[in-house]
Amino acid sequence: MNAHPPAAAEPVQRTPPLEVLFARAMACFEPFEAAPLLAVAVSGGSDSMALAALAADWCRARGGRVIGLIVDHGLRAESAGEARRTAGVLMALGIDTRILCWQGPKPRSRIQERARDARLDLLVGACRQIGAAHLLLGHHCGDQEETVAMRLERGSGTQGLSGMSACRELDDLRLLRPLLRFTRAGLREWLRRAGIGWIDDPSNRDRRFWRARYRSSGSRSPPGELETIRNASADARCDNEMRRDAVAALGVTFHPLGWIDVDPAAWHAAPVDVRAALVAAAIRCVTGTFIPVRRDAVDRLLAAFARGEPRRTLGHAIFANRACGLRIMREPRHLPMACDLAGGGKLLWDNRIFIESTEDQPTAGIRPADRQSIARLPAEIRRKGEFPVDALLGMPALRRSGCDEWQHMLAFRGGGGIIWCFRPARAFTGVSFVRKAVACDKILPI
């Protein structure tokens, strides 16, 4: 009887430690500066707490540091105390922390949407103040699944169904989502082993909100189905964006005052999907908004242009369908409320117009322009065609301290102590999303 040696044991496939997976995720966003300064948005929940702790370890190994940014929306009586407790946990981990408070009246409708916009404004403003070029957000694979499911239910096209991109580039800041391939269960288990606590937000169980209803419905899609939809949509979106950018390079003119003109030959030669991508990108650029428009709304706008309609509005943008081409401008509605700009101060008005006061003493008031402020402009500026009235009304007016009259922004073209320029928070091109394959697909699910 021949003796046979025992068969070699199959190698055990072990999941790498979470720290290793996180380092792989961050490697997809390279290069970073020699000593990275990372800002991390921390809500106090398990996802963002794990992100902050992982990012802090990653940064220390490279001679850098992390600053935790906590937004207190003030929507619940407990929020201020939760923000302080979260700050205490972060500081115990050796992480510098800032609490950002959402000031002013709170909305009574579209609460989560408006709170999300206010949160992002506060976070981006804080990053610019501290000089951080990277803002890390704690969205994980469960958040991605819910995003795709919600947009599928609402009839989104490839733009929405491709989900959240791992990297989005603003004017001077990158929004990074390194946890998109990580599970909440895996993150919480890691926190328990590390002895790090977190806070569960009760609004996550509030059935007034879509995500809470989805989590508790038990009607989730079969495993892998939403991921398949997302991947196919992401591929289609990347293809559309590259073709869109090729058309834009030849047929789109950006006016320095903040509107876009599209050459009619380039417009009519572009396929419908590329036109839709042009429309969506133009809306984001001229309005500074972070909210994507629905594809069915874009399709209705395209159909109206095909019928020869001269004018439409969509997503707070005006579309003027002229013989010499399509013009896209900011709609003069839903503009920011009046505010003050102190001497030497600066702000990004309406997420698209950068304004800086170079004077030492006076305070400038800022509010949306009106026809009276336009009428005060010199006649050569008000010439019809060169500066469309709709575009002028979508800009701010300013009033110096001690002066009764509001002057249109264009009155300060030559200086006068005010510097301004069109600097939209959302760029027209889709460079950030083209990187999605690099930023997502190298990371193993856990």
181 φ/ψ angles, rounded to the nearest 5 degrees: -110, 10
Task: Tell me, yes or no, whether 150 lies in a domain.
Answer: no
Comparing 69 with 141, which gets the higher pLDDT? 69
207 close to 213: Cβ distance less than 8 angstroms: yes
Q: Are strands 353-357 and 418-422 parallel, antiparallel or unpaired?
A: antiparallel
**Amino acid in the structure at residue 96:** D
Residue-wise pLDDT tens digits, 81-111: 999 999 999 999 999 999 999 887 777 776 7
Task: Tell me, yes or no, whether 128 lies in a domain.
Answer: yes
% of the chain exceeding 90 in pLDDT: 35
199 close to 193: Cβ distance less than 8 angstroms: no
Task: Tell me, yes or no, whether 7 lies in a domain.
Answer: no
Q: Do both 210 and 70 map to the same domain?
A: yes
Structure tokens given for 22:
């996180």
Mean pLDDT, residues 348-355 taken together: 88
427 close to 248: Cβ distance less than 8 angstroms: no
CA distance 92 to 88: 6
Q: Do both 365 and 241 map to the same domain?
A: no
pTM over 0.75, yes/no = no
Work out the mean pLDDT of the chain and round it to a whole number: 81
Task: Tell me, yes or no, whether 281 lies in a domain.
Answer: yes
> Can you tell me which residue has the tokens 């398949």?
228
Q: Do both 286 and 216 map to the same domain?
A: no
| Secondary structure (DSSP) of 276-290 | HHHHHHHHHHHH---
Q: Which CATH number goes with the domain that contains 25? A: 3.40.50.620
152 close to 162: Cβ distance less than 8 angstroms: no
CA distance 1 to 24: 52
Residue-wise pLDDT tens digits, 294-322: 888 999 999 999 999 999 999 999 999 98
Query: Among positive and negative, which fits the CA dihedral 74, 79, 84, 90?
Result: negative
Q: Do both 209 and 239 map to the same domain?
A: no
Q: Do both 88 and 191 map to the same domain?
A: yes
How many structural domains does the chain have? 3
Residue-wise pLDDT tens digits, 366-375: 999 999 998 8
Q: Do both 54 and 201 map to the same domain?
A: yes
Structure tokens given for 164:
């959240």
Query: How confident is residue 216, by pLDDT bands cut at 50, 70 and 90?
Result: low
Q: Do both 206 and 99 map to the same domain?
A: yes
Mean pLDDT, residues 322-327 taken together: 89
Query: How confident is residue 359, by pLDDT bands cut at 50, 70 and 90?
Result: low
Which domain, by its residues, includes 416?
Answer: 339-422
Mean pLDDT, residues 4-31 taken together: 72
